[in-house]
Structure 1
Amino acid sequence: MGELGTPVARPLQDGGDRYKGADLLAKLRYRWVPDHIFGEILSKKWIDNAAPFAFLLLTVLVFSHLLPGFFDPSSLSATSRELGEFTLVVMGMMIVIAGGGIDLSVGSNFALANLVTLAGLDLLNWSLPLTFAATVLTCAMVGAVNGVLVGFLRLRAFLTTLVTLIIVRAAVDMALLKYSVAISSGTFDSPVWDYVGGGSVGGLPFSFIVAVVVAVVVHIFLSRTRPGWRILAVGGSRRSAHNVGLSVRSMVCSTYVISGVMTGVAGFLYAARLGSLNTDAGVGLEVSALTAAILGGNSLGGGRSSTAKALMGAVTVMIVTTGVMRLGLVSGSGQAVMGVILAVAVAIDVRWMKNRDKVLGKFYVSPTFVKLPACPDTTADGTTNYALNTRLRAAEAIGLGEVEGPEDVIFDADDNLYTGTRHGDIVRFLAPDYRRSEVFCHIGGHPLGMAFTKDGDLVSCVGGMGVYAVNKQGVVRKLTDETNRSWFSIIDDSRFRLADDVDIAPDGKLYFSEATIRYDMAGWITDALEGRGNGRLICYDPATNKTKTLIGKLVFPNGVCLSHDGQSILFAESWMCRINRYWISGPKAGQLETLISDLPGYPDNINRASDGTYWLALMGMRGPALEVAMKMPAFRKRMTRRLPGDEWIVPNINTGCIVKFNDRGEIVDSLWDFGGQNHPMITSMRENKGYLYIGGITNNRVGRFKLDDADPNWTAHASYWGA
């Protein structure tokens, strides 16, 4: 079972005790073959890198076979010098693409950088730092021209940068005709200049080291800084970025300036390596750089880019270009190969972006085999304590039409009533008659399960956000929104997706459930159809501000309640129709046991009753069609693929009830609204001074039901913290 505080990995446990034939085979097959893993792998962001990485490996294998000495250290040293320069250009192109643009002028801008560098040193006798600054500034100005035309004047990026390519290339050619002889006759002698062009650090060329450093900076810029996030946001959707207040035009302009700076640095390193003018400098570079950026997996449509993708694309293109040259193919073969690769890369990018969600939808949902125990008799004339009745029809409504989605209800020490709404508010109804209400605070997400601390702070699980606390003045603060990540989890399960109910132990520790780590609040139906152990029980200690998972692999864990003696936590597993007990102190500390295994419905919140028992909300009742389907995982998978969501066989949550059970797991009473005339769906209830207050996540009211045999002075707040 594990000691207290040590995560207990609870495997999926089916309710049935005996399996025959096909049931047994299905149970074993879906328990030991983890179908969901493939879908989780497809959902990872790095899966976009799989194709370019595979293509890179294929390229290495092909050219290592065609050219046996191609990857020798001496050969790699020469290639890596060119790779450093090329990578810088690809980085600049990638940033432009991330912002939703394209820069075809990088080739001519690269040639301009080579010209300015050599002219500054050999013709104008400038110092090396001044020449470097002039080169980078000149190329940045070309980028700024592109940025102004595309970003501020909103011209077409493709045509604009194509025109810039032609104009800058023409200017470079004219300058070469006039000054090439004078530049070539100049002699600039400097050990620093020689080191930039031919030096190395630890056996790695200087230009390659520069490219690696720049790649790290670009990665941090795009993934860890606000300007980088804004560029990706602009590339993803310019209209949305504009609507949220981002300066779209200036962000687009900045990407072209950055591209110009990168190209200028690359051209400076190129000039240092060759030391002479080259009329072919930068010719076709725009095609190679664009191919590398797209081949690496960066989306041509913008908004999806990474440094790793650009690096893989740059290495692949450099290997192909150099390999084609060493094979001695006819002139133009390299460009032809680049054109074919670019066409394939664009086709893959377009098709993948268009069908990614479809592919993920086919594989991510992964139902498993679930067999529940026989459903107890709930007929009106039955012999069990679940017998149907209409007692809840006598419940009166509080706040009718004033609240939407009051999932849980709770009282403070002054008997004021609190509940959450789907609009992100916590509403307070004022005692004693609860006719007056006010918005106590606004959290933002849907407040679900709630509990009061000893100091009077209201703690609430908030769907999709985590666990938050609200002080008496209505000031909201976050307590926790992440826990320790599982060692063998493919998806990142550290952040909370659906924390749903919470209770507080005498030592102040918070125990709460997270229903699922695979789906958000709107995806509860899909989680129900999976029937997989996607949930967990978690503990947060405010004294140390540490959060730790106690039990994993639970099937939609829900209501959480501290036992009357304070030694254990009772919690529900909704789709398994059972209640569990987890001991937090005493001789059984750290042990997990099933208290009720065969409920007739899907349990939700659990709370204390005045007579030492517990109230339990059943948010819906079991049905034969779903229970048959739960033993047919393949059928459920086909259903989710082929049918719209409103035609799925799903748990019935239109009719529920409230039951009372004791510490031995025995049902002692039940309250129904048969037919659902007053409270058709119940997710919580709270006893207070002789009344039972009822919440429902799809209701528009809070119910109040008179308990004839209850203690009229008992309150849950006093039960936890005293008078």
Structure 2
Amino acid sequence: MAVKFFTNVIVTALQCVLIMIIITFFPGLPPDLKFEAFSINPRPLYGVLETNSKLNNAERLFEDEVKGPEDLAIYKGELYMTTHGGYVQKMTKNGDLLPVVKFGKPCEGIWQEHICGRPLGIHIDSNGIMHVADAYYGIKKVNLSSGEVEDLVDVTEKIDGVAPMIPNAVDVSKTGDVYWTDSSISHKLNDGLFTLLGNGNGRLLMYNAKTKRSEVLLNGLHFSNGVLLSDDESYVIAAETFKSRLIKYYIKGPQKGTSDVFIDDLPGFPDNLKRDANGNCVVSLILPTNLFYEYIVEIPLLRKFIARTLALKQMLVKTVSNIYQHVLLDKLAHWIGHFEMLRITSAPRMTVIVLNKNGDIIESLHATDGKVAYLSSLVQFNGFYYLGSPYNSYLGRVKIQKDKVKV
């Protein structure tokens, strides 16, 4: 009996190994990505990074009224936010939540975000000109006074031979040139997990306001994300999310057209970048790095196996959904490749860091009580920190205490 049991165990194990080998090495299986090893070494949480409670005791505003307030901006005493469903919404001076503009088309729910539209990054200048990066519909320019909407970048138009797949973040120069990121040239946002597992192919671009064309400044970024111009517009910083670092691209001066690392080894994955009142760079880390990710980035074959397994499961669900059309199957197909899958993991802390012009960390703000999660944007407004997130069904808010360094 024991011999038969162990024989069955060995046979089952060999079958599993064979399946893993086939999935990993069989040619032509999706996703069409390269997988190479790299490493990340997150900074320890001591000194200026020491864990604190500056973002604890957060309020949850508009709970279940808003979904995924990804990025935040202030204009004329009102707080603007990009949300699921294709909307930009605002919190008025009276504390009401109102729609500002809708991109995309009518849809049944967020599992159809490729139809609804999904605004991500937002920038509003002092004249009320709003620029928004919609992951599925491109870069939009909105006049908040007239309501006029202008399409600056169409996702169907190729730039350097490749159409953008995930327009993500924007910042705008004094001359109206738009610096923006395209997080991937191979996958849409609803398949974002594949961009985490494969090699990076994101881009940093600049839309020229005069020529009305975009040019690529940097290629090969591992999920290019938040973007921020320096005060003098001599360089631009872009977040490279899955390498836990920020890249600096020189716009002017003797190093024009070159790039280097602004800061690396961040203790999390950088998302949106904002400027504070002192000209510092505020970096929201949407999740802390973890040992599992630090492990798999050094083993490309393991990442390839995971990516192919997810892709095959997604193909199966989509095939069944096409035959037996049901909303639950549509939701499952959407969820399999989406970043929202990461919500099945919990994180002990959320962190925002503040950098000076030299790329030095001068302050960190942490949430350790579980009141807020998945922070993608932080702005200071009327004595509060407002906290954005691509997943939360609320807008976070924390009272700034007098002993805290204001951001």
TM-score range, shorter chain: 0.7 to 0.9
Cα deviation, residue 709, structure 1: 6.5
Partner of 1:522: helix, strand, or coil? helix
Higher-Rg member (1/2): 1
Tell me which of 129, 133, 138 is aligned to 1:461.
133
Q: Is the 8 A contact 1:528 1:651 kept in 2?
A: no
Q: Could you say which residue in structure 2 is the equivalent of 1:229? A: none
Please report how far the alpha carbon of residue 683 of structure 1 lies from its aligned counterpart in structure 2 after TM superposition: 0.7
Q: Does 1:657 align with 2:351?
A: yes
Is it true that 1:617 corresponds to 2:284 in the alignment?
yes
How far apart, CA to CA, are the structure 1 residues paired with 2:83 and 2:270?
21
Residue number in structure 1 paired with 2:218: 551
Mapping 1:42-441, distance limit 5 Å: 361-362=29-30, 364-372=32-40, 374-378=41-45, 383-412=46-75, 414-431=76-93, 433=94, 435-441=95-101
Q: Does 2:124 align with 1:452?
A: yes
Task: Give the paired residue count.
Answer: 341
Distance in structure 2 (CA, Å) of the matches to 1:696 and 1:551:
26
Question: Identity of paired residues, percent?
Answer: 26
Q: 1:12-40 CA distances to partner (integer Å, 9 max, x unpaired)?
A: xxxxxxxxxxxxxxxxxxxxxxxxxxx9x
For 1:661 and 1:703, how far apart are their aligned partners in 2? 22
Cα distance in structure 1, aligned partners of 2:192 and 2:337? 15
Which residue in 1 is equivalent to 2:164?
496
Q: 1:699 aligns with which of 378, 392, 404?
A: 392
Q: Aligned to 2:148, which of 467, 471, 475?
A: 475
The separation in 1 between residues aligned to 2:140 and 2:337, in whole angstroms, is: 36
Contact kept, 8 Å, 2:141 with 2:150, in 1: the verdict is yes
Residue aligning to 1:569: 236
Q: Note closer, same or farther for the CA distance 1:611–1:395 as it changes in structure 2 (3 Å cut).
A: farther
C-alpha distance in 2, partners of 1:692/1:553?
A: 33
How does the TM-score come out when normalised to structure 1?
0.44
How much does 1:366 deviate? 3.2
Which digits, 9 at most, give the CA deviation of each residue in 1:77-110, with x for residues without a partner?
A: xxxxxxxxxxxxxxxxxxxxxxxxxxxxxxxxxx
1:668 aligned onto 2:341: no
Q: Structure 1 residue 706: deviation in Å?
A: 3.3
Aligned equivalents of 2:276, 2:399: Cα separation in 1: 14
- The secondary structure found in structure 2 opposite 1:394 is coil
State the alpha-carbon separation in 2 of the partners of residues 451 and 710 from structure 1: 26
Q: SS where residue 219 of structure 2 aligns?
A: strand
Answer whether contact 2:89 2:100 (CA < 8 A) is retained. Answer: yes
Which structure is richer in relative contact order (CA contacts within 8 A, separation 6 or more)?
2
How far apart are 1:545 and its partner, in Å? Answer: 1.0
In structure 1, how many angstroms separate the alpha carbons of the residues matched to 2:342 and 2:207?
Answer: 31
Gaps of 5+ in 1: 1-38, 40-357, 487-491, 715-723
Matched, 1:520 2:192: no
* Matched letter for residue 358 of structure 2: R
User: Whole-Å Cα distance in 1 between the matches of residues 405 and 194 of structure 2?
Assistant: 42
Aligned residues of 2:287 and 2:374 also touching (Cα < 8 A): yes
From 494, 505, 508, give the equivalent of 2:173: 505
Q: Are 2:386 and 2:396, in contact at CA under 8 Å, matched by a contact in 1?
A: yes
AA at the equivalent of 1:674: T
Q: Which residue of 2 aligns with 1:578?
A: 245
In structure 2, the residue corresponding to 1:439 is in which secondary structure? strand
State the Cα deviation string for residues 130-185 of structure 1 (Å, max 9, x = none). Answer: xxxxxxxxxxxxxxxxxxxxxxxxxxxxxxxxxxxxxxxxxxxxxxxxxxxxxxxx
> 1 CA distance for matches of 2:338 and 2:185?
22
Shift of 1:392: 1.2
Hey, what's the Cα distance between the residues in 1 that align with 2:374 and 2:29?
A: 30
CA contact (8 A) 1:690 1:711 kept: no
- Taking a change above 3 Å as real, the CA distance of residues 654 and 519 of structure 1, as seen in their structure-2 partners, is farther
Residues 159 and 214 in structure 2, CA contact (< 8 A), matched pair in contact too: no
Q: Is the 8 A contact 2:180 2:227 kept in 1?
A: yes
Q: What amino acid does structure 1 have at the position aligned with 2:152?
A: L
Query: CA 1:587 to 1:398, structure 2 compared with 1: closer, same or farther past 3 Å?
Result: farther
Post-superposition Cα deviations, 1:501-559, rounded to whole Å, max 9, x if no partner, equal: 100111211001110010000111111011x1310001112222121111111111101
Q: Relative to 1, partners in 2 of residues 1:593 and 1:443: Cα closer, same or farther, differing over 3 Å?
A: same
Displacement of 1:700 in angstroms is: 1.5
Letter in 2 for 1:480: V
- Please tell me whether the aligned partners of residues 225 and 272 of structure 2 are also in contact (alpha carbons under 8 angstroms): yes
Asked if the contact 1:406/1:697 (under 8 Å) is kept, the reply is: yes
Deviations 1:554-588 (A, max 9, x none): 11110101122332111110001001111222343
Matched AA of 2:397: R
Q: Give 1 or 2: higher strand fraction.
A: 2
Which residue number in structure 2 is paired with residue 593 of structure 1?
260
Question: Matches of 1:539 and 1:636 in 2, distance apart?
Answer: 32
Query: CA-to-partner distance for each residue in 1:327-372, whole Å, 9 max, x for gaps?
Result: xxxxxxxxxxxxxxxxxxxxxxxxxxxxxxx975446243221212
Q: Residue 374 of structure 2: which of 662, 681, 696 is its match?
A: 681
The aligned amino acid for 1:497 is M
Q: Provide the C-alpha distance between the structure 1 equivalents of 2:397 and 2:307, rounded to a whole number of angstroms.
A: 39
Letter in 1 for 2:379: R
Question: What whole-Å deviation, never above 9, does each CA across 1:458-499 have from its counterpart, x for those lacking one?
Answer: 11000121101121233322111256643xxxxx51x22101
Q: Aligned partners of 2:31 and 2:354: how far apart in 1?
A: 41
Q: TM-score, normalised by structure 2?
A: 0.77
Q: Aligned-pair RMSD on alpha carbons? A: 2.8
- Aligned-residue offset at 1:711: 9.5
Higher helix share: 1
Cα deviations by residue, 1:619-650 (Å, 9 ceiling, x for unpaired)? 01111122111111112212233465769998
Aligned twin of 1:338: none
| Equivalent position SS for 1:377 | coil
